[in-house]
Structure 1
Amino acid sequence: MAERSYVFIVHSSLHDPVFIRTVEEKVERAVGQDLVIKRYYSADQPVPGDVGSAVIVIATGGTESLLLKLASQLRNKPKVFLTHDIANSLPAFMEAYPLLKQEAASMTYITASFDNLEQYLLKARRILSALSKIRGSRLGLIGGISEWLVYSKTSLSIVKEKLGISMVELPIERVYELYSQVQNAEKSEELNQIISSSKLEVPKEEVEKAYRLYIALNKLVESEKLDGYTIKCFDIIKQLRTTACLAVSLFNSKLVTAGCEGDIPSFISMHVLTALTGKPAFMGNPSKITNNRFLIAHCTAPLAISADKPILKTHFESNMGVGVAITFNRGVTTFLRLSPELSSARLFKGKIVMGDPVSDKHCRSQAWVEVNFDPRVLIERSMGNHYVFVEGDHLEELMGLLNLLGVNVELL
């Protein structure tokens, strides 16, 4: 039997049926035909056998025992409890919550405004959708982990055990072989579009070589049926005399997660953010800290999010190949960093106050980020040398998703 996602509207049988119908109409507007909608008002009601995940809308008070019964029936199915600000919805959840935490596996909650209940239902739906995407992922580690990542090391078995993600290790020699087979890359319409829409500070031939590497990596992704990969990219510089920065940029622009240096915790952080938001994620190094701001930089960023004409210049450390310098949009961003054990995560909101690539002493794409905490905590309680962000405020949904993944959250 194929599993489906449900919305359970939990309510007291004593409550006004007109109000319950109002709640039901809000649910219908938010989820349409995509989720199965059921009222739940008696502990004697059976739960359908095809429930794969559930949003549990606490419509009214007087439902504490119903919540516990429903949670026990759903057992380890992913559950998002949705409480709102009228009809004693929140008090009912607060009374049941201590027992739900003890007895109900794979759960999280969202507190909503009743007037905007549809908006919060969409958030709950996105959380469950992202969870399904993440647990159904097949990801690649190409070439292994860079030797300088002395702390940010994660075994592929941990990725499977903690998050349910399948991850395979692939030899980088396969990339070299595929690269040698690529012909006529310079005739690609996509390549010509990239060149015409960018400012080139490297010879056109260097961009063609970098794009040729993208074609080779794309063939590997397709043949291995990967939903993303992280690559030990510095090895490529020595072997092919080009860089993976443009390829990584293009994959992330197309929402196929691509990470650098074989850094698995950062790569998985990127994958989680993209699965949740449908936006390209950026991975970078915090490189300078002053008061309540820090500079984050890397030699690749998604071309799709550049606020201005991107600049293609050399890779910073090697001064070879193609590095990607974009201009970040100013505004709110959501940051995430998973621990190497994938058991905990740090997340916070930042505000990009300057996103122009102005420094020649840092990696090519650069953003100054303002935060409401002392950024020295990133050093004092370091979780590694890379952080990841996406544009927009997604903290509430991200916290809910991480709860369902069984990851402990540190919110700065």
Structure 2
Amino acid sequence: MKTLCFSIASSSIGVNYSRQIEKKVRGMLNSVNANIAYDGILDSPSAENIEECLLRVVFIATGGTEKIVAATAEKSRFLILLAHKYYNSLPAAIEASSLLRRNGFKHVVKLVEPVEETVEVLEKVLRVASVVDRFRSARFGLIGGVSDWLVYSKLSPDTLREKLGSEIVEIPVEALVKEYERAGPLEDLPGVWEKAAEVHVPRHEVEKALKIYVALKSIIENYGLSGISIKCFDIIPLTGTTACLALSLLNSNGFPASCEGDLPLLVSMAMGEWISGKPVFMGNPSFIENNEVVIAHCTSPLIGRYLLHTHFETGRGVGVRVDYPVGGKVTVYRVDSDLEEVRIGVGTILAHEWSESWCRTQVRIGLSNPWMIVEEPIGNHYALLLGDHGSELEMLGKILGLKVRYM
């Protein structure tokens, strides 16, 4: 089965116009420079003979193409219908979408005006398709199991395999401790110490925390992992330090890494990091008032000015406090433990007075409905991604078979 295909749906009386569209689209496909299978201009008979495809984009050139769209659905796992404002394109998209919706077929409808916006949609679709492929072969490491207090935030290996095609690799905490003890003295602190705006821990504590980073990198290489989650509190008495800084560095480098053995959140982080190319912050919704939520944790990608502290709960090791850009757009999201829903909120980072009573990195966000986090809970961690990535996550969620809800 092909991964990504592109079709133009045309009525017989609108074929001349469709050929004009085809000239523009072929140029766009060449400019995208990707492995997209082009089906050509489809009428009803030819639509029945196309090859099967995981993700098919159908540009609805004219009206009277509803049956063509329905036929492409028979040979696709997911459809993206592109409509424009002329030649009854949108009415045809609406009618076809109504049938697909009634039949429970996964699809989305996008309006492209001018037609040249098609290339922007294609680039987004390419990113989404690459993430779907990546999940199919992903290996997520679970080091030491799931923290005892995560009574909900667990993920069945069968569910992950069935819905995303990914694998959970269980790794004993002893394997990490062995790699930690094997790591020699660190002559270079990869700029972490020097670049910190303030340091509130001794240098030797930073060195110990960085040995966890070296150990985790060895585990990642040895097991061929695509992401990791660690039962982090368990390693503190075994190593005398925390994993906060190590996870910060992994996520800073675009490698999904979550705390506390929270696998649903790890999947969420992978979705965001892979689709955007940006690092993701995971944290606890620590306080909600009006339309604002504070998300806090002791690990964060080093996306800006940062300070090195101790870990909040234990006062040991190294925790990270990162300042997030006030006024910037941000996407807050997560999947549930059954991989049935992805919840997305796009908001704005607000000014915040830092408190010693929360985890070290604290981000205050204005959202339309943050109370959904409490009133309809799906876990105590959320992922935070700089920028507005709601549409990409929505498309990815739908392709993966997740119900999309906005907050």
Per-residue CA distance 1:253-290 (angstroms, 9 max, x = gap): 11110000011111111111112111111110111122
Residue 340 (structure 2) aligns with = 343
Change (3 A) 1:47 1:323: farther
Among 327, 332, 339, the alignment partner of 2:329 is: 332
Q: Equivalent residue for 1:290? A: 289
2:192 aligned with 1:197, yes or no?
Answer: no
Bigger shift: residues 222-231 or 377-386? 377-386
Partner residue, 2:83: 83
1:308-342 alpha-carbon deviations (Å, 9 max, x no partner): 2x111100000000001111123111111211111
Please list the CA deviations of residues 348-389 of structure 1 after superposition, one character each: whole Å capped at 9, or x if unmatched. Answer: 112111367x2111101111101123x333212222211111
121 and 355 in structure 1: CA distance in 2 versus 1, 3 angstrom threshold: farther
Which one of the candidate residues 374, 379, 386 is aligned to 1:391?
386
Residue from 319, 322, 325 that aligns with 2:315: 319
Distance 1:117 1:4, change over 3 A: closer
How far did residue 17 of structure 1 move? Answer: 4.8
- Root mean square deviation, CA, Å: 2.1
Q: What is the aligned partner in structure 1 of residue 120 from structure 2?
A: 119
Letter in 2 for 1:342: L
Is the 2:51–2:75 Cα contact (8 Å) retained in structure 1? no
Deviation per CA, 1:371-410: give whole Å up to 9, x if none. 123x333212222211111011111221111111111122
The alignment partner of 1:151 has SS state of: coil
Distance between the aligned counterparts of 1:211 and 1:326, measured in 2?
Answer: 17
How many angstroms does 1:12 deviate by? 2.5
CA gap of 1:4–1:153, structure 2 versus 1, over 3 A, is closer
Q: Matched residue pairs, number?
A: 401
Query: Is the CA contact 2:345–2:368 (under 8 Å) kept in the aligned structure 1?
Result: no
C-alpha distance in 2, partners of 1:101/1:260? 38
2:397 is aligned to 402
Matched residues, percent identical?
A: 37
Q: How far off its partner does 1:81 sit? A: 2.5
User: Which whole-Å CA distance do the structure 2 matches of 1:256 and 1:318 have between them?
Assistant: 26
Residue type at the aligned position of 1:275: W
* Contact 2:7 2:42 (8 Å CA) reproduced: no
**SS class of match (1:44):** helix
In 2: Cα distance, 1:187 partner to 1:281 partner: 28
Pair 1:107-2:102 in alignment: no
Distance 1:215 1:139, change over 3 A: same
Match of 2:267 in 1: 268
Which amino acid counterpart does residue 108 of structure 1 have in structure 2? V
Distance 1:104 1:125, change over 3 A: farther
SS of structure 1 residue aligned to 2:12: coil
**Aligned position for 2:161:** 160
Does residue 65 (structure 1) correspond to residue 67 (structure 2)? The answer is yes
Work out the CA distance in 2 between the residues paired with 1:251 and 1:142.
15
- More deviation, 230-239/157-166: 157-166
Give the partner amino acid of 2:394: M
**Structure 2 contact 330–348 (Cα < 8 Å) conserved:** yes
List aligned pairs for 1:168-179, cutoff 5 A. Answer: 168-179=169-180
Shift of 1:166: 1.3
CA distance in 1 between counterparts of 2:365 and 2:291 reads 8
Runs of 4+ in 1 over 6 A off after TM superposition: none
Partner of 2:231: 232
Superposition TM-score, scaled by structure 1 size: 0.91
* Unmatched tracts of structure 1, length 5 or more: none
Q: Do the aligned partners of 1:142 and 1:229 also contact (CA within 8 Å) in 2? A: yes
Long gaps (5+) in structure 2: none
What is the one-letter code of the residue matched to 1:89? S
User: 281-290 or 191-200, which moves further after superposition?
Assistant: 191-200
CA distance in 1, matches of 2:200, 2:125: 45
Cα–Cα, structure 1 residues 381 and 53, in superposed 2: closer, same or farther, change >3 Å?
A: closer
Partner AA of 1:84 in structure 2: H
Q: Which SS does the other structure have where 1:90 is aligned?
A: helix
Q: 1:63 to 1:295 in 2, by over 3 A?
A: same
Q: CA separation in 2, counterparts of 1:280 and 1:69?
A: 40
CA contact (8 A) 1:30 1:119 kept: no
The alpha-carbon deviation at position 33 of structure 1 amounts to 4.4
Residue 353 (1) aligns with residue 350 (2): yes
- 1-side partners of 2:352 and 2:139: how far apart? 33
**Cα distance in 1, alignment partners of residues 213 and 85 from structure 2:** 50
